[in-house]
Amino acid sequence: MPLSFRSANVELYCLECRARYRPEPLLYKCRRCGSLLEAKVEPVEPVVFSGKGVWRYSSLLPTPMAGSEPVTLLEGQTPLIKAKRIAPRVEAYIKLEGSNPTGSFKDRGMAVAVTLGKAWGFWSAIAASTGNTAASAAAYTARAGMKCLVLLPRGKVAPGKLFQALLHGAIVAEIEESFDEAVRVAERAAWELRLYPLNSFNPWRLEGQKTIAYELFEQLGEEPDAVVVPVGNGGNIFAIWKGFAELKDLGLISNVPRMIGVQAEGASPLVKAWREGSDPVVEEPSTIATAIRIGRPVNYKRVLRAVRESRGALVSVADSMILEAQKALAAEEGIGVEPASAAPLAAYEMLVNEGVIDRGEKVVFVATGHALKDPSVPLHYRIHRVASIRDLARLLE
Amino acid sequence: MPLSFRSANVELYCLECRARYRPEPLLYKCRRCGSLLEAKVEPVEPVVFSGKGVWRYSSLLPTPMAGSEPVTLLEGQTPLIKAKRIAPRVEAYIKLEGSNPTGSFKDRGMAVAVTLGKAWGFWSAIAASTGNTAASAAAYTARAGMKCLVLLPRGKVAPGKLFQALLHGAIVAEIEESFDEAVRVAERAAWELRLYPLNSFNPWRLEGQKTIAYELFEQLGEEPDAVVVPVGNGGNIFAIWKGFAELKDLGLISNVPRMIGVQAEGASPLVKAWREGSDPVVEEPSTIATAIRIGRPVNYKRVLRAVRESRGALVSVADSMILEAQKALAAEEGIGVEPASAAPLAAYEMLVNEGVIDRGEKVVFVATGHALKDPSVPLHYRIHRVASIRDLARLLE
């Protein structure tokens, strides 16, 4: 049964070959060219932003008709914090996506995708994950009263994220292979077992994630010059670009910000593809930033498009720089993020030195997940044993 | 040098003997009777709520004059989520304080307290902590450019919270004794080493925490009938009560909600004091809810006053009920909280059955910290190994 939307027209279309489709739950690849499909929502006029959660932007989202209640945990409306010390050559802001209900940006997309899955009548969903997707999928399906199966690469998920998936009642399954293989298995299982797929190839998730752009526009009162985003599977950078492109189409902003993607050196298939035109594949991705440890990003065409059309860039940073940036954000700004989320800041010096970002520009660094998401990184800090006030005094010297 | 405030008058006063004092940084106990002192802020007229973070409520806060910038990480404005399934006999809301920057309600109080410490010219602060205070104190002092010394009871702090304190650059010291002893050492060290004290005996922290009441009023459009709060050291339940009492004085609400405090059975000195009039002391507090594992709550007089004057109650719940409530919140509502934060919901059945809460009443359960704060609780969940789609199908049966 086709879904009724509040918007006059919601369709799927192929950015590569321009084919257009009516929305269906398991339709996310173009039947002509095999590329991933995007959602296109004709806005409900007048475009009004009001209320809480991603549904604040319901006039620009695939909002189901009354009768199927939107799923929400009041995700979004996350803080945008002006940096005081860490990026002095630009006007820098940190977008704190770790303040979302499960501690990462994934919640925005899950709110929209799970709403549609529920409206389509699914009782079970599936998601492959490096951890954050699992936590978020588990929470939102729980909210919707759906079952959730999450598929994880064994031993490669931060324990807190695994704990979240279990706590929220998901059925947790591990495979011996990589995350990339888990995505393939999840995709096949969705078809064969008629499960609602919650990976980022699901175009409705990206509709939720694009609200980061709307929020940045509301918080700054205009568009920033550049947005710097950690890139793993690549859904988020594309979604933010799409959000800004839509604001431009609506005449609300004049320019789409330059989208700058940052990968970890050991897991940077997109940087290589961007520079050398090679296949976007790294066989054995390796980085301490587990949230972006991905060797075969399913959204690679989307990423390259967002970066190219916004005149942005794709760069990579070493793990040591990521840890340094994580420490600087926490100790100099008071902002705690997981390693992957520090990758954008780790690229700051290079981006300014190479002229990718100009002095004085308004730059948003997207911090995708909370520090508590991955506290297991071995930071060699000292914990002091004390027995007296004198011991304490010595520590302050 | 006395601090200048935006408000016409900011003073400290003793709820017990009515003595009044001009604010001083290390003054928090009545010189006449030894009770803890409260802040009294004469509102800046007109009372307007605008902007982000706790400073949205600056007309009711001890806001320093221009010249000393308020410290903020845009804490507050946390989601208030209406429960769908877990407390069907009342109109239940969960206040998600885990969405604050460091993942707990402590951030509200630190924003105000650190602002004043900085304005008074302190360069170093100290806090004893069961974990959440340490994380928050470390983040806010980092934001303010101050040093922070945190004092923890060895082996009794959730690892994620310890990680946060270290990441935010605090000097972390452990003592062999309990949290209660750590508070005493921190208090002495503050005097002897001239450190700014950030424990909840600091009245300015409670000024930040009282904004939970203002926010509930804004989010609901009126006051709830009852607010159920986890109680450890007791600062938060008092602060929320104080916030509502102030709203009543301003004529914005008609009634102060009943304040209901919930302790863990193995650490319930206040419940015993409330019922039996005994000293509020448990020598060896024990509970899986580490955030409220406190045997000698420094704010005991404050708690008893808030509960008595609001015609509330103090009850305790078993650890098993806390874990069950944590699981129910996560799996039935999609809301992930740390064990201490599930204590209020764990008391729900008892509160309704005993008539402490009436059917249909508007009840707010305050979830003080995020699930990721304490993911080490041994929940005996199964993780399934799978190798095929057929394996996955079996898990769904």
> How many residues are recorded in chain B?
397
Short-list A87, A175, A143, A107, CA closest to A357: A87
- CA-to-CA distance for B44 and B41, rounded, in angstroms? 9
> What is the structure's pLDDT at B379?
60
Per-residue pLDDT averaged across B78-84, rounded?
Answer: 97
Tell me the pLDDT tens digit for each residue of A124-148. Answer: 999 999 899 999 999 999 999 999 9
Quote the CA–CA distance of B3 and B23 in Å, as a whole number: 8
Taking the C-alpha atoms of residue B268 and residue B186, their distance in angstroms, rounded to an integer, is 23
Tokens linked to A194? 């008629």
Give the separation between CA A148 and CA A198, rounded to whole angstroms.
10
pLDDT of residue B378: 57
CA nearest neighbour of A396 among B13, B124, B378 = B124
State how far residue A113 is from chain B, nearest Cα, in angstroms.
15
DSSP label at residue A168: T
Residues in B closer than 8 angstroms to A141, CB to CB, are 334
Residue B28 has a pLDDT of: 93
Q: Confirm if B372 and A372 have CB atoms less than 8 A apart.
A: yes
Which residues from chain B sit within 8 angstroms of residue A115, using beta carbons?
none
pLDDT of A156? 82
* pLDDT at position B99 over 70: yes
Beta strand ranges found along chain A (DSSP E): 10-14, 20-21, 37-41, 80-82, 91-96, 124-128, 147-153, 171-175, 196-197, 226-230, 258-264, 313-317, 362-367, 383-385
Q: Does the structure show a pLDDT above 90 at A29?
A: yes
Strand pairing category for A10-14 and A20-21: antiparallel
**Cα distances (Å, whole numbers) of residue A362 to A90, A369, B361:** 6, 22, 48
CB–CB of B143/B71 below 8 Å?
yes
- Res A249 pLDDT > 60: yes
CB A344 within 8 A of CB A262: yes
Cβ of B386 within 8 Å of Cβ of A188? The answer is: no
Question: Which residue reads 């009711």 in tokens?
Answer: B60
Which residues on chain B are in Cβ contact (under 8 Å) with A369? none
Average pLDDT score, chain A: 94
Least confident window among A287-291, B150-154, B376-380: B376-380
pLDDT for res B361: 98
What residues in B contact A389, CB-CB < 8 Å? 185, 188-189, 192-193
As a whole number, mean pLDDT of residues A164-186 equals 93
pLDDT, tens digit, for every residue of B40-73? 999 988 999 999 999 999 999 999 887 778 999 9
ipTM of the complex, rounded to two decimals: 0.94
Nearby residues of B291 by Cβ (< 8 Å), 6 or more positions away: B104, B130, B131, B132, B230, B232, B338, B339, B340, B341, B368, B369, B373, B374
* Chain A closest-CA separation from residue B389 CA (Å): 6
Tell me what the mean pLDDT of segment B30-37 comes to.
95
Please give the interface size between A and B, counted as residue pairs whose CB atoms are below 8 Å apart.
Answer: 232
Chain A residues with CB inside 8 Å of B375's CB? 159-160, 163-164
- pTM attached to this predicted model: 0.95
Among the listed ranges A169-183, A327-341, B306-320, which one has the minimum average pLDDT value?
A: A169-183
Contact assignment for A185 to B73 by CB distance below 8 Å: no
Q: H helices of chain B, where?
A: 106-119, 132-144, 159-167, 179-193, 203-209, 211-220, 235-249, 269-276, 300-309, 319-328, 339-346, 348-353, 389-395
Q: Say if residue B150's pLDDT is above 90.
A: yes
CB contact under 8 A, B375 and A159: yes
Which residue of A lies nearest to B191 if distances are taken between CA atoms? A389
Of B165, B133, B383, nearest to A375 (Cα)?
B165
How does DSSP classify residue B250?
T
**Comparing A63-77, A302-316, B344-358, which segment has the lowest mean pLDDT?**
A63-77
Query: How far A118 CA lies from chain B's nearest CA (Å)?
Result: 15
pLDDT at A1 over 90: no
DSSP 8-state code for residue B225: S
In tens, the pLDDT along B225-270 reads: 999 999 999 999 999 999 999 999 999 999 999 999 999 999 999 9
What pLDDT shows up at residue A158?
83
Cβ–Cβ < 8 Å for A366, A344: yes
pLDDT above 70: residue A336: yes
Q: Would you state the CATH architecture of domain B80-104+205-379? A: 3-Layer(aba) Sandwich (3.40)
> What pLDDT is stored for residue A378 in this prediction?
57
Of B141, B175, B386, the CB nearest to A174: B386
Q: Is the pLDDT of residue B377 over 70?
A: no
Instruction: Give the pLDDT score at A377.
Output: 54
For chain B, domain boundaries: 80-104+205-379
Residues 6+ apart with CB under 8 A from A289: A230, A264, A267, A319, A322, A338, A339, A340, A342, A343
* pLDDT, averaged across chain B: 94
Query: What was the pLDDT predicted at B382?
Result: 85
Supply the angle between the helices A159-167 and A132-144 in degrees, to the nearest 10.
10
pLDDT tens digits, one per residue of B120-149: 999 999 999 989 999 999 999 999 999 999
